[in-house]
Structure 1
Amino acid sequence: MTDIPKTLFLGLGTSVVSYYRCFLPAMALGAEYATWGTLADETTLVLTGGLGNPPPSVEDLPNYEVVVVQYANGRAWLKKIRELQDRGVKVLYEIDDYVQAARKAKMHELAHKFGQDRVRDLEMGMRAVDGMICSTNFIARRYRAFNDHTWECRNGIDLNRYDYKKPARKDDVVTLGFAGGVGHKASLARWEPAIRSVLRQRENVRFVSVGHAAAAAYVEEFGRERAVSYPSSGIEIYPASMTLFDIAFAPSAENNQFRGKSDLRWLEASALGIPLVAHPDVYPDIEDGVTGVHARELEEVEVALLRLIDNPEERQRIGRTAHEYVRDHRRIEVAAESWGEVLREVVAGDRQHV
């Protein structure tokens, strides 16, 4: 895609969030990408890496038509945002979390980084920019309290990175899998009774977690062979670990933090052809029984998991259909089109919002 304004995406460090929300759209659009940080004083901006040779520097920022900054805070960015705007550069804010809710959720993996002062600092950046790019419609609407111009640009996925074959299974073992950070701890606790019930009813089933050590809590009852935790890994390795899953699940804590979450768990599972049992509030794009399975109450979770455990043909059908849907509608090359529309719109000044 070459008809976009000259754009630089600045991800906050080299995190998975930076990869999905800045690196991938930049690559798909033909834009430039770098990561940003600050020196020890937390006010001096530095660009810490990038795709160019050499990568862009802070001094190069005025040379772009649009600069997209992930989690731009006021302390480090306010002066620079004003300088860029004075020179005709449009500055957009990229965010994929409802930080106000994360601050209140004590079990969120980044709750300690979202104290009141930190959130106010982020809100200062939100108010200063020309608009905000958000991962979901929910947070796009919420952030209009800080900026009149918000857009929803949903996550896309690089299918090539998920092009793995599943390893051979032993006997009739079926693996339930969860992949995600400790920020999902509260939601996992809600579904834990159903997961334990399923493991008790089907001795051929094991639980494998990747990232947050969710399966560790099951070792005492079910043993180490049926409850296995793998640590977080780089995006280069992470998809391979998910090939151990036969069925994935994605619960919700049913609060605003989770209402603001994207459907990335579904995209990742679908990229590997794995059926996902998921909460409908967070995963409304799933067509129940076709591209995944919706479950809200514990009884629904248990029934859905048992049905998929006992029916390998249904697992394969749903996994295959989900993969086809994501391939056609949510691969990054398709998803990036919405980002391109925003970039063109903000430069043209023709603002039409979600």
Structure 2
Amino acid sequence: MAHLHLHFVHHRPRFLDVRMALPAKALAGIEGLDVAEGGGLDLSAFPGEPKLIVHQRHMPWEDPDRLAPLRRTIQRGWVHVLEFDDHPDLVAAVNRTRMRPEHWEYLAAFHAIQTSTEPLADLFRRHNPEVAVFPNAAFALPAPERKAARRVFFGALNRTAAGVEAARALGPLAKARADVEFVVVADREVFEALGAANATFSPALDYQAYLDLLRTCEIALSPLGDSAYEACKSDLKFIEAAANGAVTIASPTVYAATIRDGVTGLIARAPEDWPRLLQRLLDDAALRQRLAGAAHDYVRGERLFARQVPERVAWYRSLWDRRLELTEAIGQRVPTMRARFDELRAA
């Protein structure tokens, strides 16, 4: 079987390790794949050989000629895939803009899209039917260990409203439990809402430092709102906590579909549940150990990245095998791309 050349392009690499950098590293060890990362791609490389570019959450918001680079990659024989693992409207808001028709057209101009959840896949299929779902996964599974201190972890981006609501509900308990340290990463509003002297704050960390800090904690909190946008998020925070030996208390949005309440974690369905469930875990070491062990077993059995490698590689190869059909489909979806393809064929 011919080597497949995979090139991962990190347009905004921070905080997206689990979708790009770590998969690239893991796939680099697979026989039959030639994996590279970063910019500086020579589009004329590997003539006639299977080759594919994965673009990480790329959206040239204000570029009127945003389709030109995609046309060039197709002209040189590359298949291109867009990796997008959040709701585009939320990503647009973070970039202080909004999704417009030309942005949705940009998504349609890729051969395929890969994402992390079925709700996102359903959204993307309205614009591009070639969508694959690769759930977020753990890349390492440290052996369970006894935690030296009682520490409660909160670490997430763009979940402030739900995080603040949970923190306010937890404030009285946090102040009453001087024996417990609350560790907040990245979201200062959540830290301030907690209002406890026994809470510490860290700015956003690189991914390995984030996991190292999480591993020192017994309990992880994962609040998430119930909007349509947040329902598209993944259960990654639970997977990270479970892989690193922490018990998760989470909102029902997203997490209730993965966590078995009372078996692999706990679900907080109302604001008053956060302090009640946390108190329960703090007071019951046996429960903490049982839930942490079951969650760790779940990740080992179902959510390690290695389990999805065969499906992922097979999909990438199928995209190459179907490249002419997929390129024709781009022209059907995006007429301006089709006109350019016609020019290329006539040249």
**TM-score of the superposed pair, with normalisation by structure 1:** 0.79
> Deviation at 1:263?
1.2
Answering whether residue 112 of structure 2 is matched by residue 136 of structure 1, we say no
Q: Which residue of 1 aligns with 2:341?
A: none
Asked which structure has the greater CA Rg, the reply is 2
Which segment is superposed worse, 86-95 or 194-203? 194-203
CA distance in 1: counterparts of 2:97 and 2:189, whole angstroms: 25
Q: Which residue of 1 aligns with 2:240?
A: 268
Per-residue Cα deviation, 1:166-197 (whole angstroms, up to 9, x for no partner) = 6622xxxx32210122x111120221232124
Answering whether residue 263 of structure 2 is matched by residue 290 of structure 1, we say yes
Aligned residues of 1:250 and 1:279 also touching (Cα < 8 A): yes
Aligned residues of 1:135 and 1:155 also touching (Cα < 8 A): yes
Answering whether residue 298 of structure 2 is matched by residue 312 of structure 1, we say no
**1:146 alignment partner, one of 124, 127, 130:** 127
Structure 1 residues 198 and 58, CA gap change in structure 2 (3 angstroms): farther
**2:25 alignment partner, one of 14, 24, 27:** 27
Aligned residues of 2:188 and 2:201 also touching (Cα < 8 A): yes
Answering whether residue 203 of structure 2 is matched by residue 231 of structure 1, we say yes
Per-residue Cα deviation, 1:14-57 (whole angstroms, up to 9, x for no partner) = 3121x21122222323351313xxxxxxxxxxx16xxxxxxx44
Q: Percent identity?
A: 24
> Deviation at 1:310?
0.9
Structure 1 residues 252 and 61, CA gap change in structure 2 (3 angstroms): farther
Per-residue Cα deviation, 1:294-350 (whole angstroms, up to 9, x for no partner) = 222113323221211111111111112111211221112113344223213323339
> Deviation at 1:126?
0.6
Q: Which residue of 2 aligns with 1:115?
A: 97
Q: Which residue of 1 aligns with 2:168?
A: 193
Per-residue Cα deviation, 1:107-133 (whole angstroms, up to 9, x for no partner) = xxxx3415026x656433211011110
Aligned residues of 1:209 and 1:229 also touching (Cα < 8 A): yes
Residue correspondence of structure 1 range 1-354 to structure 2 within 5 A: 5-17=4-16, 19-30=17-28, 31=33, 32-35=35-38, 47=39, 56-60=41-45, 64-73=50-59, 75=63, 78-103=67-92, 111-116=93-98, 122-159=103-140, 168-169=148-149, 174-181=150-157, 183-214=158-189, 216-218=191-193, 221-223=195-197, 226-283=198-255, 284-349=257-322
CA distance in 2: counterparts of 1:133 and 1:67, whole angstroms: 12
Structure 1 residues 34 and 64, CA gap change in structure 2 (3 angstroms): farther
Structure 1 residues 252 and 236, CA gap change in structure 2 (3 angstroms): closer
Aligned residues of 1:214 and 1:229 also touching (Cα < 8 A): no
Q: Which residue of 2 aligns with 1:40?
A: none
Structure 1 residues 61 and 303, CA gap change in structure 2 (3 angstroms): farther
CA distance in 1: counterparts of 2:107 and 2:145, whole angstroms: 42
Structure 1 residues 77 and 26, CA gap change in structure 2 (3 angstroms): farther
Corresponding pairs, count:
314
Structure 1 residues 33 and 202, CA gap change in structure 2 (3 angstroms): same
Aligned residues of 1:24 and 1:332 also touching (Cα < 8 A): no
**TM-score of the superposed pair, with normalisation by structure 2:** 0.80
Aligned residues of 1:159 and 1:327 also touching (Cα < 8 A): no
Per-residue Cα deviation, 1:267-314 (whole angstroms, up to 9, x for no partner) = 111111101011222121111111111222113323221211111111
Which SS does the other structure have where 1:228 is aligned? Answer: strand
CA distance in 2: counterparts of 1:266 and 1:166, whole angstroms: 19
Q: Which runs of no fewer than 5 residues in structure 1 stay unpaired?
A: 36-46, 49-55, 104-110
The amino acid across from 2:212 in the alignment is: A
CA distance in 2: counterparts of 1:3 and 1:262, whole angstroms: 34
Q: Which residue of 1 aligns with 2:334?
A: none
CA distance in 1: counterparts of 2:125 and 2:46, whole angstroms: 26
Which SS does the other structure have where 2:159 is aligned? Answer: helix
Aligned residues of 2:57 and 2:85 also touching (Cα < 8 A): no
Q: Which runs of no fewer than 5 residues in structure 2 stay unpaired?
A: 326-347
Structure 1 residues 101 and 306, CA gap change in structure 2 (3 angstroms): same
Which SS does the other structure have where 2:80 is aligned? Answer: strand
The amino acid across from 1:229 in the alignment is: F
Aligned residues of 1:280 and 1:294 also touching (Cα < 8 A): yes
Structure 1 residues 314 and 262, CA gap change in structure 2 (3 angstroms): same
Structure 1 residues 238 and 58, CA gap change in structure 2 (3 angstroms): farther
